[in-house]
Each structure stands twice: as structure tokens, then as C-alpha cells.
Amino acid sequence: MRRGASIQDFADKIGANSGQLITVLFHLGQMATATASLDEDTFQILGVELGYKVEIVSPEDEERELFEGFGLNISTELEDEDEELLQARPPVVTVMGHVDHGKTKLLDSIRNSNVVAGEAGGITQHIGAYQVHAQHEGVDRAVTFIDTPGHEAFTAMRARGTQVTDIAILVVAADDGVMPQTIEALNHAQAAQVPIVVAVNKVDKEGANPAKIRQQLTEFGLVAEEYGGDVMFVDVSALKGMGLDKLVDAVLLTADAALDLRANPDRAARGVAIEANLDKGRGAVATVLIQSGTLRVGDAIVAGSSHGRVRAMFDENGEAVSEAGPSRPVQVLGLQSVPRAGDKFVVAEDERQARQIAEKREAADRNALLARTRKKMSLEDFTKALEDGKVESLNLIIKGDVSGAVEALEDSLLKIDVDASVQLRIIHRGVGAITESDVNLATVDAAVIIGFNVRPDNKAKERADREGVDIRYYSVIYNVLEDIEKSLKGMLKPEFEEKQMGSAEIREIFRSSKFGTISGSYVRSGVIKRNALARVIRDGAVVREGLKVDSLRRFKDDVSEVKTDYECGIGLGDFNDLQVGDEIETYEMVEKPRV
């Protein structure tokens, strides 16, 4: 089954009636309609019940199947190529490491430019890709660098960033040592089986101890060459520009020793969209990395669920280029919509074919997303939640300036774990300014709009003010997560617990035409307060719950409370079943704080 398939798709595969399958699911405690997207677990339950083994196709296989249907081969594997057509290509390098250890500064020093200042919250919000040239063993060699936003919240994008990577440079500050995100980045690179070169940065600072870094990383399986291992460690200072040539040399040496970096430039281009955004004057702009083949101006391309024709291409310096070969990052203009970071792009035969592929991809993605956001709830839970009024969901619309940030934000939000009674639904996400149609959608679905580095246009702002739609603006991802988590906890229905107040023993009973039955009582413990909740206990068993202390008197006076060891008259409304020796216990319901 494909990701996000429905009961109808399952019924078609096994030649059954979808109505019967819905009934089977119903008896298994799951509610679903014939066309709703189901997640993998639900299909597994259904499969076991009906005696089928259900396998969900991986996104990669799904993609391959889709393109093969159009007669396109999207493989970038070397085995599939003719040996004679393969040519050497530059290595693609990702710089990873802990926040503030100098990743962007290092990239800048290598590129001799400076885009660091003013980066919000220490996260590189936009991925750039750059190619630099260096003399290596007397030959001019190119190296492509990708700048992935190195932060825990961006794990999804970083994992994607690693897939296009040949070599990872792990940046560790010599004065700070190995940090949690250093280890996380390291695990990503190792999981993707990418060779690592370690850049020990800030060696010019006081208190820098490069030897300690080498020692610390040995524990994680990175053994320096000087300790008899096979990992190259290079001491650098991004600020002073020290050791950068050695670092690029180390990358090229590692690439030549460990990898077969070749590609066929004489075919239709294949590759990955690294970043994309909506530019006011130029429309959708995507940074793409070509993995094999050559991309030319005028090619019809499809990237994720967006398609178009390459109108123009620019390199990292903003110069126009007419074609780009393997391992070359370029900015492409001409797509109809903004692709997501990590979407594969392919050159199609013509625009018509590109559009058809994009539409099919979009439908598949939408179904997969629905399966992800559809919250499983069994029948019993559902009925109970309805009775308790506990079915609540927070609807969100996310708009951001670049697709990578939107995606990372969505992934992080869906991971927030609060409580089964509250559901987080992302009903729309997109790149670009907040528009009137976003506000309309928010009005209909009672959603909150989150603008990540974007603002609403005037019409949208007016509409939002008129409709009372909540638009929130952020430039740092953690603030969003924090706020949403808080509001989810606020949306949770308050839970109450009982707090004991006092108990009194009935010693005499008076009947009064004016006040009904009054129990002459002696307060044994705590305090008896007027209007408190009460229960009557006889011989250790509760006779009646949920009563209220209607009247409370001491001799002839009405009082609001009576303390321990005093006598009083207690009236429990129209409840008359009282006997001497009964105990009246009073309590109040207190809201439990959320942890």
C-alpha cells in the first residue's frame, strides 16, 4: 500500500467491498470512512484480522514507481550508468556542529564573505549552497558546500541535508568541547554513512584545547590519524582564516580515499531542491543541487509537487549561467510554486508531463499528510471523549519565508506531546506572505496563523482584524514551540481533585418547617464551611454524595464556618435521610496544576 492510502484502496487491492472493511474496523474499535487516509498501524491491524500482510511502500519506492509510469528513470546510482560516460565530480560537503561553534563563520571564511551578523536565535534560517575552488596537488579542484541549519529542531532538514552530502565537516569549538548537538550531528553523519572530517575551530582563543577534542571524540568512534585512526582532524580559526586550506585539502583527500565521486553529465538532470522561497519580483526561487546530468535553461522540470520551465539560473554570486553539471548548486527561476527542502527534482520531456507528475505527487503527499495528522481514537475513547466534552483540537496555519523552516516547524510541532484529549492539526502550510485566503481558511476552521519571518499583506490584515483571527509572528523556532505547547496545555480541560475540609458527627436531629432537617453536630476535624460540598457516611459506607451545606448555624446565629471541637446545626438542603451517629464529611474540588 502507498502511504496515506484509504480503505477504498485496500478494498480494490483485495477485491472486497469497502463497506465490509469499515464494519471490520468498527468492530476493532477504529472509526474511519472509505476515503479517509489511514496510517500504517491501522492497516496492520486490518491486515492481521483479514489474513493479509500489509507493507507500506517507502517514499523512495513510491517516487520511483510514479516516474517509471511516465517512462522516466530517476536513479542517480553509479551502477546504472555506462562506465565510459562517467566523469569526476566535486564532493558535496555539509557543515554540521553545535550552535555557536562557528559553522556559518567557517563557511564564510571559506567563501571570503560575511552573512553572519543578525542571525535570529543563532540559527541559520536559510540554506545556501556554494562552490569554491582550491589548488590540490597542483590541480584546480572544486568543492560544493551546503549550509544546513544546524539545530535540534531542524533534525528533519538536517537528515535530508545529509542525504545529498558526500562528506560532513563536524565543527567543534576548541574552547567549548563536545556538546549534545555535536553528538547529534555526528550520529546523523554516521547513520547516513558519510565520511567525517573534524574542524577544531577557535584554536586561537584563550583556553582552547584541541587535544582534548580529539580525546573526547575518540569515545564516539572518531579516532584521529595521529592516534592511529582514519579521521582527519584540522585545527582552524574561522575568525582569523587559519588552517582553511588544510581543511579543504583534508576534504579532498578524504573524498579521494573513501569515495567514488563520478557522475554522467550527458543526460537529463536529476537532483535535490536544497532550499526554496517566494521572491516578490521573481516568483518561486529554488536552490537546487544537480546530482547527475546537466540542467539547462529551457528544461521542463518537476520538483516535489511543483513544476515549471527553467527561465533562468544563477550561481552563488548571482551571475547568470546557462547550464549546470553534477554537484553544481544553482538558483532556478520558473517554477509555478515553491518546492519543499529535500524534494527531488527531475527534468521531464515537456511541461505537460511535468505538470501531470507534479499533480500526482501532490495527491500522494496530501494523502500521506492526512494519514499523519488523522489521530487514532477507538470507539470507546471517542464516545467517552464526546460525553466529557474532551474532543478539542488546535488548528494551525503555518506560513514561512522558506520551505525548509516551514517543514522543520511542522515536524517539531507534530512531535509536541501533551495529552490524548487535545489534537494539534496543521490544516495548511505554505511559503510567502500571509494572504487573505489564509485568513479565510482560519476563519472557517477557527485556526491560529503562525507567520515565521513573514507578515500579512494589507487585505489579509484588515480581514484578520475584522474576523478576529489570531496571527502570531516569530523569527525563532523555539518561541513557536514554547507558545504552542503552553496554549495546548491551556486548552486541556481542567482536571480537579478532591480536597478534604472537615468532618462532623451527628448527635441530634431537629425537624423544622422553615429549614427542613437540621442535624445537631459536633465538628471532629478540620472546618465545616457553608456552601461546601458534603457526603453522608453511615457505618463507614457513603449514603449520599454531592450534597451541599445549605445552612450552618451556631445556636441562633447563621455562621460561615465552624471549627474543630465546636457544636453546630448543619442543613443539607432537602436531604432528610439522616440518623444520629452519621458522619458528615465536607470537601472542595481543586483544579490540578498541569505538569
Q: Which long-range contacts (CB under 8 A, 24 or more apart) does 424-428 make?
A: 424/393, 424/394, 424/396, 424/484, 424/488, 425/373, 425/393, 425/394, 425/395, 425/396, 426/373, 426/395, 426/396, 426/397, 426/398, 427/395, 427/396, 427/397, 428/397, 428/398
Question: What gap in Å lies between CA 57 and CA 163, rounded to an integer?
Answer: 19
CB 541 within 8 A of CB 500: no
- What is the DSSP pairing of strand 323-324 with strand 295-296? antiparallel
Per-residue model confidence (pLDDT) at position 159: 46
More confident residue, 371 or 376: 371
Query: Beta-carbon neighbour count of residue 139 at 10 Å?
Result: 8
Question: What gap in Å lies between CA 45 and CA 47, rounded to an integer?
Answer: 5
More confident residue, 300 or 159: 300
Helices and strands of the chain, counted as H and E runs: 15, 30
Q: Among residues 309, 276, 277, 274, which one has the least CA distance to residue 295?
A: 309
Per-residue model confidence (pLDDT) at position 123: 37
Question: What gap in Å lies between CA 127 and CA 165, rounded to an integer?
Answer: 14
Cα separation values, 302 from 146, 267, 279, 357, 541, Å: 22, 16, 19, 7, 74
Question: What gap in Å lies between CA 184 and CA 476, rounded to an integer?
Answer: 20
Per-residue model confidence (pLDDT) at position 264: 85
CB 237 within 8 A of CB 63: no
**Per CATH, domain 90-260 is 3.90.180.10:** no
* The dihedral formed by the CA atoms of 58, 166, 67 and 374, expressed in degrees to the nearest 10: 30
In CATH terms, the superfamily for domain 496-591 is: Translation factors (2.40.30.10)
Decide: residue 425, CB within 10 A, 0-12 exposed, 13-18 middle, 19+ buried: middle
CB 516 within 8 A of CB 562: no
Question: What gap in Å lies between CA 148 and CA 157, rounded to an integer?
Answer: 8
Residue 506 has pLDDT above 90, yes or no: yes
Q: Which residues of 108-135 are buried (b: 16+ CB within 10 A; e: fewer)?
A: bbbbeeeeeeeeeeebbbbbbbbbbebe
Question: What gap in Å lies between CA 93 and CA 101, rounded to an integer?
Answer: 17
Residue 151 has pLDDT above 70, yes or no: no
Q: For residue 471, list its beta bridge partners.
A: 449
Q: Among residues 553, 551, 540, 593, which one has the least CA distance to residue 575?
A: 551
* Residue 294 DSSP label: B
Residue 19 has pLDDT above 90, yes or no: no
Residue 421 has pLDDT above 80, yes or no: no
Q: Which CATH number fits domain 375-493: 2.60.120.10, 3.40.50.10050, 3.30.360.10, 3.90.550.10?
A: 3.40.50.10050
Considering only 105-114, 355-364, 427-436, which range has the smallest mean pLDDT? 105-114
Q: 3-state DSSP call for residue 40?
A: helix
Q: What is the pTM assigned to this prediction?
A: 0.59
pLDDT one-digit tens code per residue, 444-497: 767 788 998 888 888 888 888 877 788 888 888 888 888 887 776 665 566 778
Q: 3-state DSSP call for residue 437?
A: helix
Identify the CATH class of 270-366: mainly beta
